[in-house]
Amino acid sequence: MSDMPFPDGPRIDARDKVRGATPFSADNVRPDILHAALAVAAIGKGHIVSLDIRAASAVPGIRLILTHKDLGHVKSTGFLMAGGYGFQSLQPMLSPAIAYRGQPIALVVADSLETAIEAAAMIQVSYSMEPVSVTLDAPGAETVNQADTGLEIIAGNAEKAFAAAPLKIDARFITAPQHHNPIELIATVAEWQDGKLTVHEGTQNAEAVRHGLVAALGLAPDRVEVISPFVGGGFGQKYALQMQTVLVAIAARHLGRAVKLVVPRAQIFHGASFRPAIRHRVRLGADRSGYMVAAIHEVDAQTSRHDLFPAHYAALSSRLYGIKNFRGRERFVRTDVQTPGYMRAPFEHAACFALESCVDELAYRLNQDPVALRLANDTRTDAISKLPLSSRHVGECLRRGAARFGWSKRTMAPQSMRAYDGSFIGWGVAIGAYPCFIVPVIARLRVTADGGVFISTGGHEMGQGIRTALAVAVGRKLGVPAANVVALIGDTRASPQHLTAASCGTASAIPAASDAADAMLGALARLGASPGQTPAQILKAAGRASLEVEIRKKAPGQSDAVFGQFASGHLSFAGPVYPEFVTFSYAAHFVEVRVEPTTRRVRVPRVVSVVDCGRVISPRTAASQVRGGVVWGIGATLREASEVDPRYGGFLNADLSGYVVPVNADIGSIEVEFIDKPDLKFNSDGVKGLGEVCMVGVAPAISNAIYHATGRRLRDLPIRIEHLF
Ligand code: MOS
């Protein structure tokens, strides 16, 4: 049975979602709730000189205006990636200093949302302004070498091997900053009861929000709970404590009423993390057969003045193939922005675009088929650690994808394939990889005599389908329908919640839930189960109302200390390098583009993606996740860029009319296939991550297809019509 694919079943929350019945954080309304709005800085950098709230306070219905003058006792909770809890270390409104355009300067609370917005606009502020640096090459942007912070990837002697390589590619790439735009806006509902704070907020990291509030407000940990059963899209944006959450909690305490803040989309462009601007230089050396012998990947990654957002670009390019001589060099460029963060395939998307563009260029230099070249460079061993890869089926992804796409009909020369309407047809391919992480999980499984099955575990449902995967995995083992299994997740009351990101969710939660189900089967057997009985029947026969088991699960090589660490809101990732192996998920993407010869309009009518994510637990939500990743890949390659104003700072196109994402008419056929081979070295269910790998490689597959269609090798993202003239 373990080799049988899991059956395709519906998403268990699908019916509620299409009916609008799924409760998101901002849906927590009650008659006496108060509404908040933020006023934000209108300068790129400097200081508040004067701030006058008299007119704003006079608006009828105003309950409270908080400014930097009121928050003396509050502490910054620190940057999550530096051991704190926030998406950045800078907590706005602790001083009159302004670090970036759009930084909150006041929180206004009123009886109605309209009143709060009106009053926020009436706050009078004067500033002293300082020059801003918001681009990678701005004067005043400060460069810091990441090697000084201990992160550097080196194997063999890349310089020497590159110099000696008969074939050399040397190319520079730039990828624009981009912003997440999940449908659910960032929203907080905070309420205090008997000195206890409850926060309803869509987040990927309920425990960091909880402990961040504990730290900011100086509370005991048992005084705060964070509830986030559904997130309307995370994508990395909601990976840590948001800065406004602290402000809303303070306002609610002050007023003794529940307060709700929904951050409008325009403010999110400055109020949450984003994908930073990146500059790459890749040098790739190969022998005359096309075997890659050396690569040097140098990256300059934008960060803020106040935090160094870690850069892991070379982590992907060093391991996508088995290149024996590799040097990665990552530098930070400090600019006057909020701290950037994780956005789906945060490093891998851009790093893979750079490397896989070079690999395509190499194929053309050799006049070798790009699929064949990649297959010839496949590996079983991790080039950096020399450890075996626990599984790698990227060759199979390429072969199956090529067959399904009809790749053998491709003619190699650029501009050699034309459509009936004269459009240039381009077929491109690229592979992608994503590191497989595991985080510690405490899972509790409870069954009741009236038929209830409750699995409480770490994990946040942001649409990726983790609730469905949990229900399928537990239901299958206990012999109950998935629809009867209730997953209690994203809730600090249910179980400690590690950050759900970096595609760790399923690979961490499923093996724990699955072990819990096994433990439950054992416990039920001890109660005297007979074959074919449901858990409820067994409990009834034994005269028991309920039965509960608990499983604690961690990654290979992790010590038991991680359980305390993650329960206090700190990151506890393991991987992709484990004591005995290295684990990545893989994908191969095949893309058809059509470039209209006069307008140069690029269409993507067809994509075939084949993914190696180990065992597929929930085929329907998994396929849907891959389609989402491909759609985002199309957006990231052909549409999305956050435009900056080098004179005044901030992001200019801070809404969905100016920040262009793909719409239905931009998306053609996306065919998804899974290798579906469990990686049982990685975990007992053989599950690897999926959410991010499915986007990695889409960008180079598209740009390689555009090269094939037009003969133009484009190295900056996004690619737009004007770059094709
Ligand atoms: Mo993902 S960018 O790690 O939520």
- Residue pair 354/171 in contact (Cβ under 8 Å)? The answer is yes
Ordered by start, the domain boundaries in the chain are: 25-130+183-233+238-271, 278-436+579-724, 438-567
| Residue with tokens 């009351």, as numbered in its chain | 493
Interval between CA 548 and ligand 1 midpoint (Å): 32
Nearest residue to 548 via CA among 684, 441, 443:
443
> Which pLDDT value is given to residue 417?
98
> Which pLDDT value is given to residue 147?
76
550: Cα separation from own chain's centroid: 29
Determine the atom of ligand 1 nearest the C-alpha atom of 502: 3
Which amino acid is located at 189 in the chain?
V
Q: How is residue 368 written in tokens?
A: 């070798």
455: Cα separation from own chain's centroid: 24
Q: What percent of the chain has pLDDT over 70?
A: 99
**Model pLDDT for residues 258-290, shown as the tens digit of each residue:** 999 999 999 999 999 999 999 999 999 999 999
Calculate mean pLDDT across residues 39-47.
Answer: 98
Q: Using CA atoms, how far apart are residues 401 and 694, in angstroms rounded to an integer?
A: 14
- Residue pair 653/177 in contact (Cβ under 8 Å)? The answer is no
Nearest residue to 119 via CA among 127, 128, 130, 108:
108
Determine the atom of ligand 1 nearest the C-alpha atom of 234: 4
CATH superfamily name and code, 25-130+183-233+238-271: Aldehyde oxidase/xanthine dehydrogenase, a/b hammerhead (3.90.1170.50)
CATH of domain 278-436+579-724: 3.30.365.10
Q: So what CATH class is 438-567?
A: alpha beta
Interval between CA 343 and ligand 1 midpoint (Å): 6
Calculate mean pLDDT across residues 469-492.
Answer: 96
E-strand ranges in 6-103 read: 34-40, 46-52, 62-67, 97-98
SS3 label, residue 358:
helix
Calculate mean pLDDT across residues 436-440.
Answer: 97
Q: What are phi and psi of 261, to 5 degrees?
A: -125, 125
Answer yes or no: is the C-beta of 342 below 6 A from any ligand 1 atom. yes
> Other CB atoms closer than 10 Å to residue 526's CB: what's the count?
10
> Which pLDDT value is given to residue 666?
95
pLDDT of residue 7 exceeding 90: no
Answer yes or no: is the C-beta of 499 below 6 A from any ligand 1 atom. no
Answer yes or no: is the C-beta of 234 below 6 A from any ligand 1 atom. yes
- Residue whose Cα lies nearest atom 4 of ligand 1: it is 236
pLDDT of residue 151 exceeding 80: no
Give the CA distances from residue 455 to residues 177, 474, 521, in Å, rounded to whole numbers and listed in that order: 39, 8, 14
Is-above-0.85 flag for pTM? yes
Angle between helices 466-478 and 619-638 (to 10 degrees): 160
Q: Using CA atoms, how far apart are residues 121 and 208, in angstroms rounded to an integer?
A: 32
Q: Using CA atoms, how far apart are residues 327 and 333, in angstroms rounded to an integer?
A: 20
**Model pLDDT for residues 184-242, shown as the tens digit of each residue:** 999 999 999 999 999 999 999 999 999 999 999 999 999 999 999 999 999 999 999 99
Q: Using CA atoms, how far apart are residues 500 and 205, in angstroms rounded to an integer?
A: 6
pLDDT-based confidence at residue 8 (cuts at 50, 70, 90)? confident
> Which pLDDT value is given to residue 148?
66
> Other CB atoms closer than 10 Å to residue 172's CB: what's the count?
12
Calculate mean pLDDT across residues 156-176.
Answer: 97
Interval between CA 214 and ligand 1 midpoint (Å): 24
Q: Using CA atoms, how far apart are residues 603 and 666, in angstroms rounded to an integer?
A: 7
Answer yes or no: is the C-beta of 344 below 6 A from any ligand 1 atom. yes
Calculate mean pLDDT across residues 75-104.
Answer: 97
User: Mean pLDDT for the chain?
Assistant: 96
Give the CA distances from residue 71 to residues 94, 251, 254, 338, in Å, rounded to whole numbers and listed in that order: 6, 11, 12, 20
Residues present in the chain in total: 725
Answer yes or no: is the C-beta of 235 below 6 A from any ligand 1 atom. yes
**Model pLDDT for residues 293-320, shown as the tens digit of each residue:** 999 999 999 999 999 999 999 999 999 9
Asked, colleague to colleague, whether 278-436+579-724 and 438-567 share their fold, the answer is yes
Determine the atom of ligand 1 nearest the C-alpha atom of 341: 2
Q: Using CA atoms, how far apart are residues 73 and 65, in angstroms rounded to an integer?
A: 16
Determine the atom of ligand 1 nearest the C-alpha atom of 204: 4
Given CA atoms 637, 643, 649, 654 in this order, what sign does their dihedral have? Answer: negative
> Which pLDDT value is given to residue 1?
41
Give the CA distances from residue 65 to residues 93, 98, 130, 290, 678, in Å, rounded to whole numbers and listed in that order: 12, 18, 27, 65, 55
Q: Using CA atoms, how far apart are residues 368 and 396, in angstroms rounded to an integer?
A: 19
Interval between CA 255 and ligand 1 midpoint (Å): 35
Give the CA distances from residue 199 to residues 27, 78, 415, in Å, rounded to whole numbers and listed in that order: 13, 20, 57
> Which pLDDT value is given to residue 9?
85
SS3 label, residue 274:
coil
Question: Following DSSP, what letter does each residue of 230-247 receive, concatenated?
Answer: --S--TTTTSSB-HHHHH
- Residue pair 630/609 in contact (Cβ under 8 Å)? The answer is yes
Q: Using CA atoms, how far apart are residues 555 and 575, in angstroms rounded to an integer?
A: 8
Q: Using CA atoms, how far apart are residues 46 and 267, in angstroms rounded to an integer?
A: 19
pLDDT of residue 478 exceeding 50: yes
From 205, 342, 585, mutation site for ligand 1 pocket: most ligand atoms within 8 A of C-beta? 342
Question: Following DSSP, what letter does each residue of 552-587 receive, concatenated?
Answer: EE--TT--THHHHHHHTT----B-SB-SS-B-EEEE
Answer yes or no: is the C-beta of 590 below 6 A from any ligand 1 atom. no
From 235, 349, 438, mutation site for ligand 1 pocket: most ligand atoms within 8 A of C-beta? 235
From 239, 571, 585, mutation site for ligand 1 pocket: most ligand atoms within 8 A of C-beta? 239
Interval between CA 24 and ligand 1 midpoint (Å): 20
pLDDT-based confidence at residue 451 (cuts at 50, 70, 90)? very high
Which amino acid is located at 646 in the chain?
P
Determine the atom of ligand 1 nearest the C-alpha atom of 342: 2
Answer yes or no: is the C-beta of 501 below 6 A from any ligand 1 atom. yes
Q: What is the DSSP letter of 482?
A: G
Q: Using CA atoms, how far apart are residues 572 and 330, in angstroms rounded to an integer?
A: 23
